[in-house]
Amino acid sequence: MDDLTAVDVLVNPDETTVRHARAWNARMRESVPGGFALDASHQPHITTLQRYVRTADLDDAYDAVHRTLAAPDTGALSYRAVAIRHADWGVPGQGLAGILLEPGPQVLDFQAALLAAISPFTEPGGTAAAFVTDPGEDISQSTLDWVNGYVPAQIGPGRYQAHITVGFATLDDLRTIESEPFDAFTVRPAAVAVYQLGNSGAARKLLRTWPTRN
């Protein structure tokens, strides 16, 4: 449907975590130089909820997120970065890597509240028109399907896989990277935001943002 917008309700992490993400992104680009860089239109982030929102109802969806943020102490949201892992994203010989996070208990409560708040403004079946694209760029089928199936595939205990995407690498290089020791660290939220999505789940266009209460 052409009247939908693919959105990501996400957590922007603290500066220390952003530095970690950019360093890992640089390593992934050594493996796949044509992979995306983490930059102003590919922000490091922690997805909480992805949905296709009716474009005409975006302001109502923003209000719903804002009301949800008024309830919990968003500064209490926390994550533990524990490993580098990858997913098959339909690119032969490559994987999409991310920093794997263990979410604290408040994160799942926050996700459930967000889902309840914005569900009235969502519909399935978004097309490439729902995404931010560069000239000549096609949105991959895996990206379309991921947003469409985010609920219920990534909702709640045992399903939600919190992570920070850091780029594409070859499967051979990923086997090496994932076998190396990983120094775990704590991730804190800096803000909650709504972005319009691009290919491979990239946070491409900032739509709204709210600072966390620390």
Map tokens 């949105």 to a residue.
139
How far from 163 is each of 43, 45, 62, 68, CA to CA, in Å? 13, 8, 23, 22
pLDDT (tens digit, 9 = 90+) per residue, 33-46? Answer: 999 999 888 889 99
pLDDT (tens digit, 9 = 90+) per residue, 119-168? Answer: 999 999 999 999 999 999 999 999 999 999 999 999 999 999 999 999 99
pLDDT (tens digit, 9 = 90+) per residue, 107-119? Answer: 999 999 999 999 9
For the chain, the domains span: 4-211
Class of the CATH domain delimited by 4-211 = alpha beta
